[in-house]
Amino acid sequence: MNEIPEVSNSDWGMDENRIGGESVLPPVYTDEELRQLDPAALMGHCQTLQQLCMQLDGDCKFLSWELKESSEILLRFARVTQIAHYLNASDLESIANLAINELPQYLNCQFAAFYLFNPTASTFELNRASHPIPEGEMVRRDSDTGGFLYRFFTCNDEPYIIERTDDGYVVNSGSDDAPEVRVEDPVWRELLGETAIVFPLSISRSEEAQLRLGGLILGNSLVRLSDRDAEVSHMFVDLLSSSLYNAQLVRQLNQMATTDVLTRLYNRRQFLVELDKALAQTQRNPHPLSLAVLDIDHFKIFNDTHGHHCGDLVLREMGSILSESLRKNVDVPARYGGEEFTIIMPYTMLDQAVAVAERIRIEVENRSVVYGESRLSVTCSLGVAEYRPGDTASSLIDRADTALYHAKNSGRNRVSSIADDLPAGKLA
24 phi and psi, to 5 degrees?
A: -100, 110
pTM of the predicted model over 0.85: no
Of 169-173, 252-256, 418-422, the range with the lowest mean pLDDT is: 418-422
20 against 259, higher pLDDT: 259
Write the CB contacts of 163 (distance below 8 Å, at least 6 apart in sequence).
Answer: 169, 170, 172, 194, 195
pLDDT value of position 17: 44
Q: Which CATH fold would you assign to the domain 93-257?
A: Beta-Lactamase (3.30.450)
If pLDDT is split at 50, 70 and 90, which confidence band does 314 have? very high
Phi-psi domain of 222 (left: phi exceeds 0; alpha: psi -120 through 50; beta: other): alpha
**For residues 49 and 55, what is the distance between their CA atoms, to the nearest angstrom?**
10
| Equal CATH topology for 93-257 and 268-421 | no
**For residues 371 and 391, what is the distance between their CA atoms, to the nearest angstrom?**
42
pLDDT value of position 26: 72
Q: Is 339 a catalytic residue?
A: yes
What is residue 287's three-state secondary structure? coil
Residue type, 120: T
**Residues 112-131, mean pLDDT to the nearest whole number:** 88
pLDDT value of position 386: 96
**Residues 169-189, mean pLDDT to the nearest whole number:** 72
pLDDT value of position 399: 95
**For residues 101 and 98, what is the distance between their CA atoms, to the nearest angstrom?**
6
Do 70 and 62 meet the contact criterion of CB atoms below 8 Å apart? no
Strand partners, 309: none
**Which helix or strand (DSSP H or E) is residue 355 part of?**
helix 350-366
pLDDT value of position 12: 40
- Over residues 331-389, the pLDDT tens digits come to 999 999 999 999 999 999 999 999 999 999 999 999 989 998 889 999 999 999 999 99
- Over residues 72-118, the pLDDT tens digits come to 655 555 555 555 555 555 678 888 888 888 788 878 889 999 999 88
**Residues 4-23, mean pLDDT to the nearest whole number:** 45
Alpha helices (H) in 193-267, listed in sequence order? 227-258
pLDDT value of position 206: 61
Do 390 and 426 meet the contact criterion of CB atoms below 8 Å apart? no
- Over residues 416-428, the pLDDT tens digits come to 998 665 544 333 3
Domain 268-421, CATH among 2.40.30.10, 3.30.70.270, 1.20.1250.20, 3.40.630.10: 3.30.70.270
Q: Which of 158, 339, 340, 386 is catalytic?
A: 339
Domain boundaries, the chain: 9-76, 93-257, 268-421
**For residues 169 and 192, what is the distance between their CA atoms, to the nearest angstrom?**
9
Strand partners, 290: 345, 386
Do 357 and 365 meet the contact criterion of CB atoms below 8 Å apart? no
384 phi and psi, to 5 degrees?
A: -125, 140
**For residues 171 and 160, what is the distance between their CA atoms, to the nearest angstrom?**
7
Alpha helices (H) in 15-109, listed in sequence order? 31-36, 39-87, 92-97, 103-106
If pLDDT is split at 50, 70 and 90, which confidence band does 410 have? very high
**Residues 142-169, mean pLDDT to the nearest whole number:** 79
